[in-house]
């Protein structure tokens, strides 16, 4: 739990917060090692591991060859036998090459062996669009892993949670997949000093409101908060929930909010269909919260296409603040 006082105003970037979490974990626990492509002297493609190799050496900050399947599998095997690897996919897109070890092995080994072993591996996935890197370097594939029992899947949206969720992931005896949004790496925010964890499986109500509920993930939390400010000026009081973990999902927090507001928008960057929004909507539809709905649920997600290169197109295929505002205004009509 985060037990730190909010008077501590130290700010770090999201990338620095992740690095600090890894640094703290490595200092307290010899078993923690980092593995990934160009995470040593290069410092990671997004600079997340930075200079950790200087502090811990190449035995604990290991540059792997360009071998995602093998690398992920080595991390799984090491996790089964006493190490605590944190494996970085250079881009989440390249985790598709490692899916065998994630889906068939890491997720299932404990179950298949009747609980005889655990696989305490942590994997990091820099994901999302906005960098002009086009279709094979911009995807949001978190729903792929979230579909698999045996894995836990988190998406921190702030530096504070990026640190707390990584430390929680290391404490967790099961495989935890952390999807980090590339555009957030430079975002600054308050990060408590020292060791703390952010609970896996708990959403956060980041803005309280009474007129409608916006459930958002990752970078969309910030867009939702932006939109909520504009809405407030128009007399619409939005509640914003940062889902933070998508498996297991925090049912109670979402349902309580929907019971209160009666209106729901779910917003995420991944392709709209068959994703997080479908799950959140179904969770509401299958519960008593359904009776509280005053309007249909709205999902805002990515367009049904790969991420295009042209910057205007790239922007157009993921939800933006004006899209949220339009949805909220439509939803609020007749009530506010």
Partner 1 sequence: MRDTVMPNNIPYAISRYSAEELKDALKKMYLIRKFEEGAEDSYMRGLIHGTMHLSIGQEASAVGSCMSLTDDDKITSTHRGHGHCVAKGADLSRMFAEFFGKESGYCKGRGGSMHIADPSKGNLGANGIVGGGLPIAVGAALSAKRLGTGAVTICFFGDGANNEGAFHEALNMAKVWNLPVVFVCENNKYGMSTSTERSTAVKNISDRAVAYAMPGVTVDGNDFSAVTEAVDAAVERARKGEGPSLVENVTYRWRGHSKSDRNRYRTKEEIADWQSRDPIVAMAKLLVDHKISTEDEVAEIEADATRIIEEAIAFATEGDNPKIEEVTRDVYTKGAAA
Kindly state whether residue 242 participates in binding partner 1, applying the rule CB under 8 A: no
- Min dist. Cβ of residue 158 to partner 1 (A): 24
Between 135 and 282, whose beta carbon lies closer to partner 1? 135
Please give the Cα distance from 149 to 152 (Å, whole number). 8
Kindly state whether residue 38 participates in binding partner 1, applying the rule CB under 8 A: yes
Kindly state whether residue 88 participates in binding ligand TPP, applying the rule CB under 6 A: no
- The residue from 20, 23, 88, 93 that contacts partner 1 (CB under 8 A) is 93
- The residue from 97, 232, 256, 336 that contacts partner 1 (CB under 8 A) is 97
- Min dist. Cβ of residue 13 to partner 1 (A): 16
Between 98 and 120, whose beta carbon lies closer to ligand TPP? 98
Between 63 and 226, whose beta carbon lies closer to partner 1? 63
Q: Give 286-292 contacts, CB < 8 A, sequence gap 24+.
A: 287/251, 287/255, 288/255, 288/259, 289/254, 289/255, 289/258, 289/259, 292/258, 292/259, 292/260, 292/262
Kindly state whether residue 104 participates in binding partner 1, applying the rule CB under 8 A: no
Q: Note if the bond before 30 is cis, omega within 30 degrees.
A: no
- The residue from 31, 51, 69, 97 that contacts ligand TPP (CB under 6 A) is 97
Q: With CB cut-offs between 5 and 8 Å by kind, which of partner 1, ligand TPP, none does residue 67 bind? A: partner 1
Catalytically annotated residue among 68, 88, 239, 279: 68
Between 124 and 263, whose beta carbon lies closer to partner 1? 124
- The residue from 94, 179, 185, 196 that contacts ligand TPP (CB under 6 A) is 94
Of residues 56-75, which lie at the interface with ligand TPP (CB under 6 A)? Answer: 66, 68
Between 63 and 237, whose beta carbon lies closer to ligand TPP? 63
Kindly state whether residue 41 participates in binding ligand TPP, applying the rule CB under 6 A: no
Between 132 and 173, whose beta carbon lies closer to partner 1? 132
Longest Cα separation, the chain: 63
Kindly state whether residue 37 participates in binding ligand TPP, applying the rule CB under 6 A: yes
Kindly state whether residue 134 participates in binding partner 1, applying the rule CB under 8 A: yes
Kindly state whether residue 16 participates in binding partner 1, applying the rule CB under 8 A: no
Is 68 part of the annotated catalytic residue set?
A: yes
Please give the Cα distance from 58 to 327 (Å, whole number). 50
Q: With CB cut-offs between 5 and 8 Å by kind, which of partner 1, ligand TPP, none does residue 110 bind? A: none
Close Cβ partners of 275 (under 8 Å, ≥ 6 residues apart): 143, 268, 301
Strands 264-271 and 212-216: parallel
Length of the chain: 336
Q: With CB cut-offs between 5 and 8 Å by kind, which of partner 1, ligand TPP, none does residue 235 bind? A: none
Binding positions for partner 1, rule: CB under 8 A: 37-38, 40-43, 45, 63-70, 93-94, 97, 131-137, 273, 303-306, 308-313, 316-317
Binding positions for ligand TPP, rule: CB under 6 A: 37, 66, 68, 90, 94, 97
Q: State the catalytic residues.
A: 68, 137
């Amino acid at each position: 739990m985060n037990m730190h006082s909010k008077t501590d105003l130290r700010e770090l970037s999201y990338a620095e917060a992740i690095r600090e979490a890894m640094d703290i974990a490595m200092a307290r626990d010899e078993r923690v090692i980092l593995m990934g492509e160009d995470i040593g002297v290069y410092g990671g493609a997004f600079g997340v591991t930075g200079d950790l190799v200087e502090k811990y050496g190449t035995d604990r900050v290991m540059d792997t060859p360009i071998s995602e399947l093998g690398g992920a599998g080595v991390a799984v095997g090491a996790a089964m036998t006493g190490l605590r690897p944190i494996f970085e996919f250079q881009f989440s897109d390249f985790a598709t090459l490692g899916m065998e070890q994630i889906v068939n092995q890491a997720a299932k080994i404990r179950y298949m062996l009747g609980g005889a072993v655990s696989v305490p591996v942590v994997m990091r996935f820099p994901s999302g669009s906005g960098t002009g890197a086009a279709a094979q370097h911009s995807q949001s594939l978190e729903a792929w892993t979230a579909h698999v029992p045996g894995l836990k899947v988190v998406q921190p949206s702030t530096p504070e949670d990026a640190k707390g969720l990584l430390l929680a992931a290391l404490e967790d005896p099961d495989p935890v997949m952390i999807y980090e949004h590339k555009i957030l790496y430079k975002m600054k925010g308050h990060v408590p000093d020292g060791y703390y964890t952010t609970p896996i499986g708990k959403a956060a109500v980041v803005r309280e409101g009474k007129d409608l509920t916006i459930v958002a993930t990752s970078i969309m939390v910030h867009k939702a908060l932006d939109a909520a400010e504009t809405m407030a000026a128009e007399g619409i009081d939005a509640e914003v929930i940062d889902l933070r973990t998508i498996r297991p999902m925090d049912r109670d927090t979402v349902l309580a909010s929907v019971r209160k507001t009666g209106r729901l928008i779910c917003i995420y960057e991944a392709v709209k269909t068959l994703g997080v929004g479908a799950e959140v909507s179904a969770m509401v539809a299958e519960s008593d919260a359904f009776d509280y709905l005053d309007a249909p649920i709205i999902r805002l997600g990515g367009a049904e296409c790969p991420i295009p290169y042209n910057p205007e197109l790239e922007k157009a295929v993921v939800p933006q603040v004006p899209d949220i505002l339009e949805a909220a205004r439509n939803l609020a009509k007749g009530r506010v």
